[in-house]
Amino acid sequence: MKRHSNFGFSSILLAFVMICIATFSALSLLTANSDYRLSKRVAERNQAYYQAQENAWDRLASIDQALLSAYEYSNDPAEYYENARSFISDAADGTWSNSEESHCFSYTESVANNQHLEVIIELQYPANSTDSFYRIIQWKTVQTSNIQKQQPLNLMGSDEQR
């Protein structure tokens, strides 16, 4: 009499299960490693962004002090704007854009190689020294690198292949 044994089938099944476990564990390790690298890059970028925010707020605080000094040394709005321009130029680096109705000052803080924080404030003549000396018009992150247009992908049946 022949004895039938399931030794061959159970060995193949066990080998298959072990290969699946090894494959899934390798994939899990790769996924965890790439997630770690991504979270590390995100943390570095966030740290750079918040450092730029802090530097921008520090610069705005020095501008605020300069505007207070300009207000204390002026008697009318025209003299205030003239003093403000002089005092702010001494306190912070930036760009002026004057027009008849508004006096704007802008400055940037570097966030990363291809990104910077752009701040634009509009000076205001306050009614007294406790009022606001400026109004924040823009506070945003701007990309500085030019994204080049890539070549389109030619797919089967597209008109560009002909």
pTM above 0.85, yes or no: no
Q: Rounded mean pLDDT of the chain?
A: 86
Give the pLDDT confidence score for residue 151 in this predicted structure.
Answer: 72
Give the pLDDT confidence score for residue 32 in this predicted structure.
Answer: 96
pLDDT class for 103, splitting at 50, 70, 90? Answer: confident
Dihedral over Cα of 28, 29, 34, 37: its sign: positive
Is 107 in contact with 93 (CB distance < 8 Å)? Answer: yes
Provide DSSP, 22-67: HHHHHHHHHHHHHHHHHHHHHHHHHHHHHHHHHHHHHHHHHHHHHH
Q: Residue 156 pLDDT > 80, yes or no? A: no
